Amino acid sequence: GIQVEQSPPDLILQEGANSTLRCNFSDSVNNLQWFHQNPWGQLINLFYIPSGTKQNGRLSATTVATERYSLLYISSSQTTDSGVYFCAPESGNKLTFGGGTRVLVKP
């Protein structure tokens, strides 16, 4: 099956900093989603992004499907951005999740 690698595994940011999270996947995919898992465990949809670039407030994402990677940008980070970020490419009508990037934003 498809392999998904996320980097870095852990990230500590000072409030206000910018950062980039990366997701590499091993096979061609039809779509890809980014999620934020909050401290209560809820998976919150951030982006549905099979290709191209999308922006939502301080967050943006880019997927280059031909090169099998996706990037999530966090700008002007806030403490509420803390949590685990997962990318999940779709293959065979199911999502395969990476190991996540655990983000801690310090005030």
Partner 1 sequence: GAGVSQSPSNKVTEKGKDVELRCDPISGHTALYWYRQSLGQGLEFLIYFQGNSAPDKSGLPSDRFSAERTGGSVSTLTIQRTQQEDSAVYLCASSVGLASIYEQYFGPGTRLTVT
Q: Residue with structure tokens 């990318």?
A: 87
Asked if residue 31 binds partner 1 (CB under 8 A), the reply is yes
Q: Name the residue nearer to partner 1 (CB basis): 14 or 45.
A: 45
Token readout for 100 is: 């996540």
Among 17, 62, 75, 97, binds partner 1 (CB under 8 A): 97
- Using alpha carbons, select from 22, 33, 25 the residue that is nearest to residue 72: 22
- Using alpha carbons, select from 41, 38, 36 the residue that is nearest to residue 58: 36
CB of 67 to partner 1, least distance (A): 20
Q: Name the residue nearer to partner 1 (CB basis): 16 or 92.
A: 92
Give, for 13, the enclosing helix (H) or strand (E). Answer: strand 10-14
Q: Residue with structure tokens 């685990």?
A: 84
Asked if residue 55 binds partner 1 (CB under 8 A), the reply is no
Asked if residue 9 binds partner 1 (CB under 8 A), the reply is no
Among 23, 96, 101, 103, binds partner 1 (CB under 8 A): 96
